[in-house]
Amino acid sequence: MKMNGARIMLECLKKEGVDTIFGYPGGTVINLYDELYSFKEIHHILPRHEQAGTHAADGYARATGRVGVALATSGPGATNTVTAIATAYMDSIPMVIITGQVPTPLIGNDAFQEVDIIGITRPCTKHSFLIRNVKDIALTMKKAFYIARSGRPGPVLVDFPKDVQMAMGEFHYPETVEIRGYKPNLSGHPRQVEKAVAMILDSRRPVLYVGGGAVLGEAAEALTTLARTLSVPVTTTLMGLGAFPECDDLSLGMLGMHGAYCANMAMTHSDLIIAVGARFDDRVTGKLSTFAPHAKIIHIDVDPTSIKKNVRVDLPIVGDVQDVLQKMLIQADKNSEKVAAFIETTATWHADITGWKEKHPLSYHQSSTIIKPQYVIEKLRELSDEDAIISTDVGQHQMWTAQFFKFNKPRTLLTSGGLGTMGFGLPAAMGAQAAFPNRQVITICGDGGVQMNIQEMATLVQNRLPVKIVILNNNFLGMVRQWQELFFDRRYSSTCMELPIDYIKLADAYGAKGFVANKTDEVESVILAGFKEDGPVIMDFRIAREEKVLPMVPAGASLNEMVLNA
């Protein structure tokens, strides 16, 4: 049966199991929208800005593990997606972004709403395609989804000219796809695995250092079993939170710039770091020359470029992290006597760690009047559902959430780690809520970032997406203010928001409900009232204005040079 290119595109999405897309209409996608009008298998959500729509597709992907799909028109529609694409790229999130393009004969002519979006996004996509012929649509989409989700996942952009959408063709979706230049190595080499287990059993002060790759690779279970079998302490990066239960005694919490004292001390004193799906980012290592000076490093990652990029590595293992960890577990089980002896020899290491945990636990000074942001996070944790999904924006509230929420399950924290994109939290929560209409979805934002995509209140209300928006409101761009306080002599250049916003009225204007808490004893009642509402809610917590995120490793300092009280 012949159909037009726009319809073929929708059939491809259906074949890939896509049930929800986030898109914004325009001149060069109007044919796609015309087909969507009667295409019931795909639920389309209209955001109020293409950036937010693309973040929502990203949030959908982070929460589900499936490929998120966003749609935008050519020109400004396409450029509006760029920040969200770069956000997904830095955190390796599987996405397919479809952009309309001017008709192929007009490409390069500076046509109305024409932009070279493939050129613009080349450095922040895993790959991209321009579809020039209606007969190429199916194979291109098959490749796009395969590339997006396999190996180290990432966003793939498909530029789809209007004339190709209108051209007629047959639809045959390929069963399999073969790309000769792209064959991710998923299976960890058995000999490397053997060596890794031997190195662990030889070590005395081992640490598992776990990144977002463990979440993306669905390796949480294997990781938890391995850590418990070998009794090896676990620290995670921001992106790795949830891969290992923070309620476990072996958990050290997050490491790095705002990491726990015990985590950073453990890294500094370790004799063996087992990196799992992590990439030794500068926010994690601090000063590279003094990073983990006594440690040998085993690095497990599906992406060979992550290995030896920033630090020397003694044993690289390229492969799917779940596969490698499972193989390590089998290898450990074969050596159960050695494992038992090993666990005994690490007793002093565990005692050291307990000592660090007790010496400087994550803490704050509670106040009976002024709301402390950490207290709000603790209360949210206490009062939210066990399977609640939390998204954050970027800044102080993000770090307080990472420190105090205590994540136990993968894919329950959605946060922009690599790019650090303000404005991410609200639309990401929107995407997660669209994927899981019956789960509690909470976005924790600052009063700066929440306004970067506040227009999505309309999308939440229109689509009955009951996202709970928590604003830790200090009327400052708090993280930059903190740096200005510590390193720039309190010269608060352009970080005071000055104009306070009435979020109750704002919520009301969108047809949502708003609550405000000004004092410590109002925190619990506001959270309970907010959670009770069936629809989207803003909860505005007026917090201590100059509260800082601590501990802090100043940029360029060593991990053990933490500022604990300032």
Partner 1 sequence: MQHTISVIVENDFGVLSRVATLFSGRGFNIDSLSVAPTNEEGLSRMTIVTRGDAQVLEQINKQLYKLIDVLKVLDFTDGSAIEREMALIKVAAEDDARAEVLRIVDIFRAKIIDVTPKSYTIEATGNPLKIDAILELLRPLGLKELVRTGSVAIGRGAKGWNG
**Interacting residue ranges for partner 1, rule: CB under 8 A:** 118-119, 122-123, 126-128, 130, 147, 179-182, 303-305, 308-309
Catalytic residue (one of 3, 113, 436, 497) = 113
Angle between helix 396-404 and helix 373-383 axes, rounded to 10 deg: 50
Nearest to 371 by CA among 523, 476, 530: 523
The DSSP bridge partners found for residue 68 are: 95
Least gap, CB of 310 to partner 1 (angstroms): 10
Nearer to partner 1, 130 or 380 (CB): 130
CA atoms within 13 A on the CB side of 213: 29
Catalytic residue (one of 479, 539, 552, 562) = 479
Q: Is 162 a catalytic residue?
A: yes
Least gap, CB of 92 to partner 1 (angstroms): 12
Residue tagged 């959500």 (tokens): 45
Least gap, CB of 316 to partner 1 (angstroms): 11
Dist. CA 526–CA 191, nearest whole Å: 56
Cα separations (Å) of 199 from 203, 205, 263?
6, 11, 21
Angle between helix 190-202 and helix 336-345 axes, rounded to 10 deg: 40
Catalytic residue (one of 126, 142, 162, 513) = 162
DSSP assignment of 95-115 equals EEEEEEE--GGGTTS--TT--
Nearer to partner 1, 128 or 374 (CB): 128
Q: Is 50 a catalytic residue?
A: yes
Decide if 421 contacts 87 (C-beta within 8 A).
yes
Dist. CA 313–CA 2, nearest whole Å: 55
Least gap, CB of 417 to partner 1 (angstroms): 20
Nearer to partner 1, 252 or 292 (CB): 292
Nearer to partner 1, 132 or 409 (CB): 132
Least gap, CB of 308 to partner 1 (angstroms): 6
Angle between helix 373-383 and helix 523-532 axes, rounded to 10 deg: 40
Least gap, CB of 50 to partner 1 (angstroms): 23
Cα separations (Å) of 170 from 20, 173, 178?
24, 10, 21
Least gap, CB of 302 to partner 1 (angstroms): 11
Nearer to partner 1, 20 or 306 (CB): 306
Decide if 137 contacts 169 (C-beta within 8 A).
yes
Nearest to 421 by CA among 393, 379, 380, 382: 393
Dist. CA 498–CA 337, nearest whole Å: 64
Residues listed for the chain: 566
455 burial level (CB within 10 Å; 0-12, 13-18, 19+): middle
Least gap, CB of 237 to partner 1 (angstroms): 21
| Residue 269 CB coordination number (10 Å) | 18
Decide if 456 contacts 49 (C-beta within 8 A).
yes
* 151, amino acid identity: G
Dist. CA 39–CA 3, nearest whole Å: 13
Least gap, CB of 35 to partner 1 (angstroms): 26
Least gap, CB of 288 to partner 1 (angstroms): 12
The DSSP bridge partners found for residue 158 are: 98, 129
DSSP assignment of 337-362 equals HHHHHHHHHTHHHHHHHHHHHHHS-S
Decide if 523 contacts 473 (C-beta within 8 A).
no
SS3 541: strand
Catalytic residue (one of 2, 41, 112, 366) = 112
Residue tagged 């064959």 (tokens): 183
SS3 378: helix
Nearer to partner 1, 44 or 309 (CB): 309
Catalytic residue (one of 11, 35, 50, 114) = 50
Terminal Cα-to-Cα distance of the chain (whole angstroms): 70
Q: Is 113 a catalytic residue?
A: yes
Cα separations (Å) of 332 from 151, 234, 479?
26, 17, 44
Catalytic residue positions, numbered: 50, 112-113, 162, 479
